[in-house]
Amino acid sequence: MSTFVIVVYIGVYLSMLLGGIPGLRVDRTGAALLGAILLLAGGSLSEKQALNAIDVPTLALLFGLMVVSAQFSLGGFYTLITRRVVMCEMAPATLLGVVIGVSAALSAVLTNDVVCLAVAPLLSRMCLSKQLNPVPFLIALACASNIGSATTLIGNPQNILIGESLKLSFNHYFLIAVPPCLLGLLVVWAVIRHLYQGQWLIEAKEILDDTETRFDRWQTGKGVLILVVLIGCFVFAPWPRELLALGAAGILLMSRKFYTRKVMGLVDWPLLVLFISLFMINESFELTGGLKWLVSQTEAAGISLDQPSHLFVTTAILSNLVSNVPAIMLLLQIVPGAEVGPMLALGSTLAGNLIIVGSVANIIVVEAARQDGVEISFKTHARVGIPVTLLTLSIAAGWLWLVM
pLDDT confidence of residue 206: 59
Q: Percent helix, strand and coil across the chain, each rounded to 5?
A: 75, 0, 25
Domain of residue 254, residue span: 3-403
Residue range 57-116, pLDDT digits in tens = 999 999 999 999 999 999 999 989 999 999 888 999 999 999 999 999 999 999 898 899
Residue range 284-323, pLDDT digits in tens = 998 988 878 888 888 888 888 889 999 999 999 999 888 8
Count: domains in the chain:
1
DSSP element (H, E) containing 213: none
Q: Do the beta carbons of residue 170 and residue 160 sit within 8 Å?
A: no
Cα–Cα distance for residue pair 205/153, rounded to 1 Å: 40
DSSP 8-state code for residue 210: -
Strand, coil or helix: 96: helix
Phi/psi-derived region of residue 189, left when phi > 0, alpha when psi is between -120 and 50, beta in every other case:
alpha
Cα–Cα distance for residue pair 294/56, rounded to 1 Å: 26
Total residues belonging to the chain: 404
Strand, coil or helix: 26: strand
Cα–Cα distance for residue pair 53/46, rounded to 1 Å: 11
Phi/psi-derived region of residue 328, left when phi > 0, alpha when psi is between -120 and 50, beta in every other case:
alpha
Residue range 5-41, pLDDT digits in tens = 999 999 999 998 888 899 999 998 999 999 999 999 9
- Mean pLDDT across the chain: 92
Q: How confident is the model at residue 373 (pLDDT cuts 50, 70, 90)?
A: confident
Residue range 229-282, pLDDT digits in tens = 999 999 999 999 999 999 999 999 999 999 999 999 999 999 999 999 999 999
DSSP 156-208: SHHHHHHHHHHT--HHHHHHHHHHHHHHHHHHHHHHHHHHTTT--B-------
Strand, coil or helix: 20: strand
Q: How confident is the model at residue 207 (pLDDT cuts 50, 70, 90)?
A: low
What residues does 26 pair with on adjacent strands? 21
Question: Distance of alpha carbon 131 from its chain centroid, rounded?
Answer: 30
Look at residue 210 and tell me whether its pLDDT is greater than 90: no
pTM of the model: 0.91
Cα–Cα distance for residue pair 391/382, rounded to 1 Å: 14
The amino acid present at 167, given as its one-letter code, is K
Among residues 108, 54, 67, the alpha carbon closest in space to that of 245 is found at: 67
pLDDT confidence of residue 209: 54
Question: From residue 160, how far is each of 108, 167, 330 by CA, in Å?
Answer: 12, 10, 15
Neighbours of 175 (CB within 10 A): 11
User: What pairing do the DSSP bridges indicate for beta strands 26-27 and 20-21?
Assistant: antiparallel
117 burial (CB, 10 Å; 0-12 / 13-18 / 19+) is: buried
Write the CB contacts of 349 (distance below 8 Å, at least 6 apart in sequence).
Answer: 146, 147, 149, 150, 155, 156, 158, 159, 324, 359
Question: Distance of alpha carbon 117 from its chain centroid, rounded?
Answer: 11
